[in-house]
Structure 1
């Protein structure tokens, strides 16, 4: 399987993961054969990309730290909590805590699994899926810090509610592409204050969790908001969530730009480490992220093209790859592919990650489809 922008879908492609509506209903089931009608409909529904089963990577699986059921249920619950908070100025803390407890349990259960899940959320679900991912990513940092379960649950609650103040901000302003005016940016900044005020008024929410909403846009050099705090004046929970928030924002499709790959986002985050975000916490965070997600295509120093089939925690930047081409111009038969562990090939390095719109994957798919036809004829 691999992630593909909607604009690159072709008739006959097979959907690899089911797509869900905002209310959790199945829009399209995994295994559905896609055509131009489906592509147009999905684009209209705000899906920037989907997971497909392509002929050359149909056996590649996407590991996920939490189950599909928990992920979908989580998005539904976060949406419900946010919508009720907007109407009634009150948080359904039981619902949030039940969700966080489930996330903590699954993250602990899958503590050795790397985060590499390629997202296929719709634009309408972005905020809720973002909060869920930030919670999962933050919990992994908390685990690396040897937090106990009580601490993890408080961190998780703050993380999943970190953007709740956004419900009081005009959505058109939040989704506005390009730069904001000083007045508009000032309005955006209010979401941290409004979120904190809402959360601290809930009697059964830890004040540290509420401070995550207040401080997750603070930066250790004092350039953040709303109070321009520095270094450890920012609570540790908020410094954790700031990193998770940044990574998920970078690796998510937005209306004004495509998602960055894991490797691109990691480079950007490393630049910020020690300047804007906590360096020690960033290092702990990056130990949990696969540089190249399964399904990615990499050009190697040999000129060969490798398909990422799996990752190992001890070799974050050296995945197991399947050699699918001698070069971008010279494909090889699927019968002759081989898998290699880059960690065991010291003379072989990664030159670049191929983009899904560079035309190479079309060539690769065509040769596999031709071979399939020959076998079946």
Structure 2
């Protein structure tokens, strides 16, 4: 299996991964042989790329953090929460708790799982995919941080709902391609507080869930918003959500910026360590989020291209690769003869 940008898809390729929309509905199923109309639909929906199965990448499997069933469930939940005008807090709260438990079970079922794939999210449904991705990545980081199961529930709930305050900000402001007015900027900067107040007013979550939502745009050095808290005065849940939120936002295409590659987003987080981000969280992030996800094409320092076969969580710059020109597999971590070879960039 390997990741292919939409512009490089050809009819006859076999889809390697189920494709869902922002409501959690399956659009296309794995193993489907792509026809021109499928490729046109993927492009129209705003998917930047998909995974395909082919002979060259046989045996390369993407280990998903969430099962397709759980991801579909979470997408559907978030979609409804953002779009509903009227809420039934008791029913919704129970549904949220049940869904969060399914997310945590998936993550805890594999103690060695990494955040190790290019996410298949479309442009128009960004809010829903983003909420699910932030919850998933935050939970992965929370496990590595050593949070208890109860604390993971708190963290993952706050992460899933971190942007719920945006439902009170006009869509044309959130998605504006133009510079915002000062009043519009003020509205956007209020979304953590609006989300915090909405949750406090309507639900009976642990107060730390709401604190995670309130503080997810605070900076470790005190330069964030809305309260300009710093260091450990920021909830640990908010500090974890912050890293997950920035990473997923940077690797997503938005009206005001193109998506960065995972490696470029990781570089940014490293650069802003100790200023924007808690260094303890960044340290965990750098061990468990793949710089070069499995199935992605990379350019090597000797001019060749390869597909990533396997990552090692303490040595993410030295994965196992399969060279496209020859089919040779090279373990950049353990192969002494390959120590002069480095990865220059993701070729996607």
TM over 0.5: yes
Q: Which residue of 1 aligns with 2:107?
A: 107
CA distance in structure 2 between the aligned counterparts of 1:111 and 1:246, rounded to whole angstroms: 24
Tell me, yes or no, if the aligned pair for 1:218 and 1:230 is still in contact at 8 Å. Answer: yes
Unaligned runs of 5+ in 2: none
Q: Which residue of 1 aligns with 2:333?
A: 343
Corresponding residue number in structure 2 for 1:361:
none
Q: Matched residues in 2 for 1:10 and 1:95: separation? A: 41
SS at match of 2:74: helix
- Paired residue secondary structure (2:86): helix
> Equivalent residue for 1:194?
194
Deviation of 1:182 after TM superposition, in Å, equals 2.5
- SS in structure 2 of the partner of residue 115 of structure 1: coil
Instruction: Kindly provide the CA deviation profile for residues 280-301 of structure 1, in whole angstroms up to 9, marking residues without a partner as x.
Output: 1111122211221112222333
Cα distance in 1 for residues equivalent to 2:253 and 2:127: 12
Please, which moves more after superposition, 290-299 or 62-71? 290-299
Q: TM-score, normalised by structure 1?
A: 0.85
Aligned with 1:353: secondary structure?
Answer: strand
Deviation readout 1:305-356 (Å, 9 max, x if unpaired): 322111122322211111222xxxxxx4xxxx22121011352332412423
Q: Larger deviation: 1-10 or 315-324?
A: 1-10
**3-state SS of 1:123 partner:** coil
Secondary structure of the residue aligned to 2:333 is helix
Q: Counterparts of 1:233-244 in structure 2 under 5 Å?
A: 233-244=233-244
Q: What SS does the aligned partner of 1:4 have?
A: strand
Report the CA distance between 1:41 and its aligned residue. Answer: 2.2
Contact 2:288 2:313 in 1 (8 A): yes
3-state SS of 2:299 partner = strand
What is the deviation of 1:256? 4.5
Structure 1 residues 341 and 127: alpha-carbon distance in aligned structure 2, compared to 1, 3 A threshold = same
Matched with 1:34 is 34
CA contact (8 A) 2:4 2:52 kept: yes
1:72-83 alignment, distance < 5 Å: 72-83=72-83
- The Cα shift of 1:253 comes to 3.0
- Bigger drift between 233-242 and 258-267 goes to 258-267
- CA shift at 1:229, angstroms? 1.8
Looking at structure 1, the residues matched to 239 and 25 of structure 2 have their Cα atoms a distance apart, in angstroms, of: 35
Could you tell me which residue of structure 1 aligns to residue 289 of structure 2?
289
Task: Specify the SS of the correspondent of 1:298.
Answer: strand
TM-score, normalisation: structure 2? 0.92
Segment of structure 1 superposing worse, 149-158 or 11-20? 11-20
Matches within 5 A, 1:62-81: 62-81=62-81
CA distance in 2, matches of 1:48, 1:302: 28
Deviation at 1:90, TM superposition (A): 4.4
Q: 1:19 to 1:232 in 2, by over 3 A?
A: same
Deviates more, 1:66-75 or 1:302-311: 302-311
Specify the alignment match of 2:344 in structure 1.
352
Structure 1: give runs of 5+ residues left out of the alignment.
Answer: 326-331, 357-377
User: Greater CA deviation, 241-250 or 25-34?
Assistant: 25-34
**Partner residue, 1:87:** 86
Farther-moved stretch of structure 1 (244-253 vs 47-56): 47-56
- Do the aligned residues in 1 keep the contact of 2:116 with 2:290 (CA within 8 Å)? yes
Q: Distance in 2 between matches of 1:300 and 1:136?
A: 30
**Alpha-carbon distance between aligned partners in 1 of 2:329 and 2:281, rounded to the nearest angstrom:** 34
CA contact 1:119–1:252 (8 Å) conserved in 2 = no
Deviations 1:17-48 (A, max 9, x none): 12223443332222222233222222223333
**Cα separation, 1, equivalents of 2:6 and 2:141:** 33
Match for residue 278 of structure 1? 278
Aligned-partner SS, 1:124 = coil
> Cα RMSD (Å) of the superposition?
2.1
CA distance in 2: counterparts of 1:131 and 1:30, whole angstroms: 24
Q: Mark the CA change 1:18 to 1:349 in structure 2 (over 3 Å): closer, same or farther.
A: same
Q: Secondary structure at the match of 1:307?
A: strand
